[in-house]
Structures are given as structure tokens and as C-alpha cells.
Amino acid sequence: GQQLNQSPQSMFIQEGEDVSMNCTSSSIFNTWLWYKQDPGEGPVLLIALYKAGELTSNGRLTAQFGITRKDSFLNISASIPSDVGIYFCAGQLSGAGGTSYGKLTFGQGTILTVHP
């Protein structure tokens, strides 16, 4: 099936540092979503992107929908200890019609550790 390549797999950073992670695919997506998942919980939606080139912020988080529609990145500025968790990108494929409407394809996740 379709795959999203998410990198890096893990990051160990100091509190206050900026973080960048990204997702790439060989397929075109019409929606990119970024989620954060804490241990034992479901993913929480952080940012949704709908247009190529779109740049959206949510507090210290900024995400962009790549121009080619095949990639997206997420930046976290001035990290704090509560940013610890697993970050997932997810996308919905373009042009697949109603049969895949709403089907999200997820990346493998980026494990973020923040040292105080």
C-alpha cells in the first residue's frame, strides 16, 4: 500500500531548541495532517493542511504543505518538556475518489525526547 516516509525516526534535544521533522511520499496527497500521541493515548490533531504551499501555525508549531503535494514538514520552536511524545504525519491521497475518502495514511512516527 501507500507509504509515508517520516524522518527522523527519533530526536533527542535540549529544552529551548527548535525541532524539524518531515514526511515524504511518491504519491500526491490532497490533505496533510500532523498528530501527537502520548503513551497509552490516541493521537491528538495538531495542524491540518489543505492547499499546496500552505503554511499554518498553531502556537509554537508550524507546518507546511509541500508545493509538489508529496511532502510536508512540522517545526516546533523553543521546545519544552511537554513536547515529548510521538509525532505522526498523515495524509489523504488525491484523486482516489469516494472509495478512499477519509482514509488516512500514516507515517512511522518521530519520537521526540526533550531534556530539561
Partner 1 sequence: ETGVTQSPTHLIKTRGQQVTLRCSSQSGHNTVSWYQQALGQGPQFIFQYYREEENGRGNFPPRFSGLQFPNYSSELNVNALELDDSALYLCASSLRSRNEQFFGPGTRLTVL
How many other C-beta atoms lie within 10 A of the C-beta of residue 44? 11
Burial 77-91 (b: 16+ CB within 10 A, else e): eebeeebebbbbbbb
Nearer CB in complex with partner 1: 77/104 = 104
Q: Contact residues for partner 1 (CB under 8 A)?
A: 1, 4, 6, 30-31, 33, 35, 40-45, 48, 50, 88, 90, 92, 98-109
Nearer CB in complex with partner 1: 79/87 = 87
Query: Minimum distance from CB of 104 to partner 1 (Å)?
Result: 6
For residue 53, give the nearest of 63, 66, 62, 34 by alpha carbon. 66
Query: Minimum distance from CB of 60 to partner 1 (Å)?
Result: 20
Query: Minimum distance from CB of 116 to partner 1 (Å)?
Result: 26
Residue that is written with C-alpha cell 509515508 in the block: 4
